[in-house]
Chains A and B, each alone.
Chain A
Amino acid sequence: MKTTRMLRLGRYAVLACAMGVLSKAPAEDQGVAWIGDYREGLRQAKETGKPLFVEFRCEA
C-alpha cells in the first residue's frame, strides 16, 4: 500500500517536473517563460493577441 503510494507520488513528481510544477522561477527557466503576475499576463495577452494559459498550484 505504502509502496504503491510512493510510486504514485514519484510518478507525480516526474510529471510535475515535466509540467513545470517543480520548476524554478521563470527567469531561470530555460523553457517557456511564466509570468507571476496575472494582471501583467492579461496586459500582455491584450497587447499580443495571444490567449492566456493560467496555472494555479499550491498545497491542496
Chain B
Amino acid sequence: MRASRDTIPGVSDSAYVAGSVSAIPAAVPTAAVSSLQSARHSTLVRVTHWITTLCFFALLVSGVEIVISHPRFYWGETGNDSTPTLFKLPIPSSRDLVPTGYGYVLPDQNGWSRYLHFQAAWLLILTGLLYVIAIVLNGHLQRDLLPGKSDLSWRAFSTAIASHLRFERPSAAEAWSYNLLQRLSYLFVIFVLFPFVIWTGLAMSPAFVSAVPASVDLLGGQQSARTLHFFVSLALVLFLLVHVGMVWFAGFKSRMRAMINGRVITGSTASTEQK
C-alpha cells in the first residue's frame, strides 16, 4: 500500500515526500524481517491449539478421577461389581464397594471431575467446530493437511516412515509445512479420534441415548461405549506423547515459539524456499 502511494507521480507536498523518503529505506528491512519471521501458524490455529491443549488436560485429569471410582471395564450393555469384567485396572478405587484388592479407599473426586469433564468437553467441541469450519473455508485443510497426490504412494509413505525410523532431523523446510506422517496423524486425530471420543462419550449419556438410541446400539451397548471411550482416550494420550516427543526432537524452542507467537526464525534460504 505504502509502495503504491509512493509511486504516485507529481506529488509535490513536502510532507508526503518526506514520508516517502523515509519509507524507502525502511521497506527493505521490513520485507526481510517479515520473510524471516512470517507467521508459521495462523492466529486461529494457535488459539484453537492451546484451548484444545487446556481442555484435553482438563478432560484427562477429570477422566482419570472418574475412572478411579470404578476401575473395572465390561463389554455389552451392563456391568457392575457382581458381573465379570473385560479387564480391570490394577489401581485402588475411590469407592469402598469396588473389589480392588487394596486395603484403602481414595477420596471421592467425582463431583467436580464430572462438572469439569463436561465443561471442558463443551469448550473443546465448540473450539473444534470453529477450527474445522475455518480450515475448510480458508483452505488450510486442503493446502496443509490433506496429503498431495504425489504423497499418496507407497514409495512416499515408506520413505517418510524410513526417515522417521532413522530419527532424521527434519529439514529446515519442514519447519514451514507438515510432512506426510504428520498430516496423516493430524487428520486421524481431528477426523477420527476426536469424533469417536465425543461419540463414545455421548453414548454413555442416558438422556442422549434416549433421543439417539442408535448411538449406543451401534457400539454394542452402554458398557462397550464406556470401554471404547477409555481406549480412544488412551489413543489420544499416545498421540499427545508422540506429538510432544516430535516437537522436542524437531527443536522444542523453535516449534513452541511458532505455536505461541506464530514466528519461525530460520535462515533466509528456508523462508524463500517456502515462499
- Is B truly associated with A? no
